[in-house]
Amino acid sequence: MSEFLSVTDLFSSNAKIGLISKDAGSSNLIAHAFADYPNTLVYCEEPGKTIFLSLGFPLASCANDVFNFSNNLIIGTGGSDFEKAHLQMALQTDSTTYSVLDHWIHYESRFEFGEARINPNKLLVFDEDARDLAQLKFPHTSVFCLANKYQEAIQSQVRSFSKKTSTFTFLYIHENFTHKFEGKEYWKACFERFYSKVCRLHSKFLIRLRIHPKDNPKDFIQFVSELSGVVLSNSDLAIDIAQSDIIVGIRSAALEVARSCGKPVYTLNICSNFALPGPISRLPEFQDAYVL
């Protein structure tokens, strides 16, 4: 199906919907999609817990409370055992179960749990690239495409903020890719080439380094301290985007969010064998395309 649906297109006003998620990507999509829906109950772990609490969702103390409450279940698929285990349990209940596919990678492995292969009941996606990929990977499963209310919320917040500094500012959205490339962790190899080019082109600049929700800020203190003009950011994504002139990263879904806000966005990918999925594959490469 090609049209974007609202929650009320899929569920009647008296449906009781249980939400289970851990990963930040799917939690943001689920929470914003169902923020105005009255009959929900959430069971989650961090970083998802902070997201649901920030939007005022009621939290259950255990998964069984959600299963007993719901006649429809929405389960994140960030790849954690938490989400896989609860999807497996959800599919054994009488509730209709929807699995949320965020980003555009590892769709098959999201349904591999130990030696078991979990067959999703229905799939929820939030953009056309994800819809097309889901239909390709799961041709016998119903795929529903919901409007991306999370992206809309970020866009609205970015419009409400004004940039506070005249210093030319980059936002680097970190992903902890640690496989080796030319003897270095991949993300460091990408960042070092980015940083080197920035230093050549700009006499004065600021790079806001935004770590992944699963990362520990303490692990980056020394790295940042050794690089002039680089600071760790703990701001909300909308603030980080609003305060930046250029947004860069490797293949984070947040790059597409930033692009949708009208910001210039580049991928730092430097290896042609490292696949860029979905809309990220259409971003210009910083090393080749960025000029003053």
Q: Is the pLDDT of residue 30 over 80?
A: yes
| Same domain for 91 and 36 | yes
Domain that holds residue 261: 155-289
Q: Express each pLDDT in 98-113 by its tens digit.
A: 999 999 999 999 999 9
CA distance 27 to 52: 7
Interval 136-156 mean pLDDT: 97
What pLDDT score was predicted for residue 1?
A: 42
Return the structure tokens found at 70: 């719901």
Q: Is the pLDDT of residue 216 over 90?
A: yes
Give, for 240, the enclosing helix (H) or strand (E).
helix 237-242
| Same domain for 182 and 140 | no
- Gyration radius of the chain's alpha carbons: 20
Chain-wide mean pLDDT for the chain?
Answer: 96
Q: Is the pLDDT of residue 2 over 70?
A: no
Q: Express each pLDDT in 225-267 by its tens digit.
A: 999 999 999 999 999 999 999 999 999 999 999 999 999 999 9
Reduce the DSSP state of residue 83 to 3 states and report it: helix
Phi/psi at 42 (5° precision)? -115, 135
CATH of the domain at 162: 3.40.50.2000
Share of the chain above pLDDT 70, in %: 99
Q: Is the pLDDT of residue 205 over 80?
A: yes
Q: How many domains does the chain have?
A: 2
pTM score, two decimals? 0.93
Q: Is the pLDDT of residue 272 over 50?
A: yes
| Same domain for 278 and 195 | yes
